[in-house]
Structure 1
Amino acid sequence: MKKIGLALEGGGLKGGYQVGSYYAFKKCHIKISGYVGTSIGSFNACLLASGQAKDLLELWQNLEPGKLLDINQEFADYINGKQKMIKALQGLNSTVLKTIKQKGISTDKLRKLAEDLINKESLYNNKKDFGLITVRLHNFEPIYIEKKDIPKEQLVDYLIASCSLPIFKLTPMIDNEIYIDGGFYDNCPIKLLIDKNYDTIYEIRINGIGRNRNVAKKNSKVITIRPSRNICSILELNQEKIKENILLGYYDTLRVLKKYDGYKYTFSKISNIFIKVITRKISKRYMSRIRNFFKAKSNKETVIKAIEYAMNYFKISPYHVYNFGLELRHIQNNYLKNYKTKNLIFNFLKKLRIF
């Protein structure tokens, strides 16, 4: 049986995207043999490897990052780069300055959450592979480690070590050493799965900050899935944005697994014959103009990007699998029929003919 693995990139509170991605694999009945990750990706990978996908989903759906990390919006904005340093340093009462003076955010609540939530017996007793990466600070040595080499009583230590960005209070943990976030060396450790001769590896990217390493793929096929839209920041306090990431991860992954069409929206498979039919009234010159607008490589790409342009403009939800023909008629009849405009793309969509 072919082995399929997931490698989950680090990226803080963007990590909910990976939960949605997992559920797309489940929807497609694809069996995953192993999970590896960096930082938040290691935490997600651990719970998935222990068979706790439902617990993980509930956690992300109800997550209150501000309470978990004891931070407020001021600190989140500072870390996310939305405020200038000078503003953060105004006054000794600043939450940012207090946290810096205390040498970082405490990981106590995060540690307790992991201890309470992770079913260690399930993780160590099942056959799913699990691994992570962290970095030993004093010599900047990367530590790639698998489940079989992690003592059960040190599991949470290794997870915290993999998640230890400099914003956290760094204290000696494993062998009385200080460890930092694995993303400083490898933000998506596909190496762990390649070394175990996995046939197919899906790396679930979340646009995290960290180093991306070029690894020899050997005999493994590596497929990348990444957000089709902007997702939340690393320290995101808005619960609704975090929940939206889960949906985005699901539909982006479903599009890849089912080979659906679309770029920012998801459409069931569109045939080239159908594209020829609906563009039969469009002159080559006009089509070329629209193609250049989208920098598209084919008529099919042009038509898809045109309808996505309209769907985005009219605020149509991206979280659905659409039938292209039905959606085109819906937009033509409900949005564009009486819509007087000189908009190049809208006028192009009006000219497409299904019959």
Structure 2
Amino acid sequence: MAGMALALGGGGAKGIFQVGAWQAFRELGIEFDAVAGTSIGAVNAGLMCGASFDDAIKMWENLKMEQCLAFSQIQSLNSDDLLSLRNLNLLARELLHEKKLSTRPLRELLERYISETAVRESPLQCGVMTTLTPSLRGYPVWIQDMAEGRLIDYIMASARLPGLDPVEIDGQQFLDGGLAEHVPVSMLRSRGWRRIVAIDLNEKPTSAREVDDNTQLIYIHDPEDLGGFLDITPGILQRNLRLGYLDTLKAFDRLKGDRFAFWPDDYARLLRDFGYETVAGLEQAGAIYELDRLVIYDHVNFIEAIRQKRANYQMLYQQKRAALRIEHKLQAIRRGELKMLHLMPPLRLAFLMEILIEGKQQQETPRLPPRLFSSIRSAADALMLLPDELRNL
């Protein structure tokens, strides 16, 4: 098929990232012929085909845990993250007494926002990936193959994690579709689509980006952890909505960058001034320093933000030097005996830079335990190349 299709992966509350992507698709004028979803991706597929964008935003931004799960006793959660330790006793009691968690409120929420009639009348074909149990065989189903009135059943089946209300359709039992295919790219390919956009919510990229034929795949995936899959803390939801928007603009070359978003001309300027490896290291440093990922940077304000963070943490590092027993740790490095390092990431980065500077001054290669420093080495190398002032930019 010549058109374009969209594959939406599972990921629970992180699914709002896909709504941010939808916002970018609208701005870019990108239209799809089909959308297939797994788990929360199935929910969003239903929204894209059977609800307005504004209604989808309204549902997600106002989401509460009591709209997803019902508890046998009236009691309040202690955290918006269901799996937080603060909710452990409540969950344990519910599973002990009821043997499962009731998803009745989620079904009612989806029935309120997703019109099956609108989905069936939509020019956008809607598909849902489910998993049959006990065989654990993938069972993809398209709207035209569902009996009337079964759409919400299949979406609930696609999102049915162990411990939640069982879902039975025509005598068959189902589990979360992610057990069969986390991002349903093959579901689209089997129907003939070869131009596919895939949105993966996993912290680590899945096999969805690996295709072995002439498929043109645009793969959207954030390089940082989007948070817990049952964490509906409002600030986390707003962050992931924005990241989905920015990452999609990057996937279509309207913005650039790996961990951060840059205007294309400014990113080209950074590459010209520093080279890709150093820019990638600076982005890694920005992540360690918890630089704001929700804004779009130009080349000057990004470097200035990194430079200021570096100065602030270097000052903190010097102030805490004695308390952190830095000299003791340096001696352990010199002897090759450092096994553990209890430093917050920005201070660990400052410590590594001191080691590298000392090694350069003494023309020696320091013995660095890979387990302690390999994940931040490129950030340290890049920061050491960064000018103290902006006069050279």
Q: Deviations over 1:151-200 (max 9, x none)?
A: 231111111111110120215x3113221111111111112211222232
- 1:191, 1:215 within 8 Å by CA — same for their partners in 2? no
- 2:266, 2:299 within 8 Å by CA — same for their partners in 1? no
- 1:135, 1:182 within 8 Å by CA — same for their partners in 2? yes
Q: What is the CA distance between 1:320 and its match in structure 2? A: 2.2
Aligned residue among 108, 121, 144 for 2:140 = 144
SS in structure 2 of the partner of residue 222 of structure 1: strand
Q: Which residue of 2 aligns with 1:160?
A: 156
Q: Which residue of 2 aligns with 1:5?
A: 5
Partner Cα distance (1:183, 1:328) in 2: 40
Between 1:145-154 and 1:217-226, the stretch displaced more is 217-226
Gaps spanning 5+ residues in structure 1: where?
Answer: 280-298
Partner Cα distance (2:234, 2:24) in 1: 21
Query: Residues 274 and 159 from structure 1, CA distance in 2 versus in 1: closer, same or farther, beyond 3 angstroms?
Result: closer
- 2:5, 2:196 within 8 Å by CA — same for their partners in 1? yes
How many residues are aligned here? 325
Aligned residue among 226, 231, 234 for 1:239 = 234
Structure whose CA Rg is larger: 2
Query: Residues 217 and 59 from structure 1, CA distance in 2 versus in 1: closer, same or farther, beyond 3 angstroms?
Result: farther
Partner Cα distance (1:55, 1:105) in 2: 27
- 2:203, 2:223 within 8 Å by CA — same for their partners in 1? no
1:284-295 matches, within 5 Å, as: none
Q: Does 1:199 align with 2:174?
A: no
Query: Residues 328 and 120 from structure 1, CA distance in 2 versus in 1: closer, same or farther, beyond 3 angstroms?
Result: same
1:189-338 matches, within 5 Å, as: 189-207=184-202, 217-258=212-253, 260-270=255-265, 274-275=269-270, 278-279=273-274, 299-306=275-282, 309-310=285-286, 313=289, 315-328=290-303
1:3-42 matches, within 5 Å, as: 3-42=3-42
- 2:185, 2:208 within 8 Å by CA — same for their partners in 1? no
Q: Which residue of 2 aligns with 1:350?
A: 387
- 2:282, 2:306 within 8 Å by CA — same for their partners in 1? no
SS in structure 2 of the partner of residue 224 of structure 1: strand
Partner Cα distance (1:240, 1:339) in 2: 25
State TM-score, norm by structure 1: 0.78
CA RMSD across the alignment = 3.5
Partner Cα distance (1:204, 1:276) in 2: 27
Query: Residues 276 and 45 from structure 1, CA distance in 2 versus in 1: closer, same or farther, beyond 3 angstroms?
Result: closer
Partner Cα distance (2:305, 2:206) in 1: 44
- 1:134, 1:182 within 8 Å by CA — same for their partners in 2? yes
Between 1:111-120 and 1:302-311, the stretch displaced more is 302-311
Partner Cα distance (1:232, 1:67) in 2: 20
Aligned residue among 130, 134, 152 for 2:130 = 134
Partner Cα distance (2:102, 2:204) in 1: 21
Higher relative contact order (CA 8 A, sep 6+): 1
- 1:36, 1:45 within 8 Å by CA — same for their partners in 2? yes
Q: Which residue of 1 aligns with 2:44?
A: 44
The share of aligned pairs that are identical, in percent, is 25
State TM-score, norm by structure 2: 0.72
- 1:187, 1:210 within 8 Å by CA — same for their partners in 2? no
Partner Cα distance (1:4, 1:259) in 2: 19
Aligned residue among 157, 174, 183 for 1:179 = 174
Aligned residue among 95, 99, 113 for 2:109 = 113
Q: What is the CA distance between 1:354 and its match in structure 2? A: 4.6
Between 1:126-135 and 1:257-266, the stretch displaced more is 257-266
Tell me the amino acid that sits aligned with residue 45 of structure 1.
A
Partner Cα distance (1:249, 1:106) in 2: 30
Between 1:261-270 and 1:149-158, the stretch displaced more is 261-270
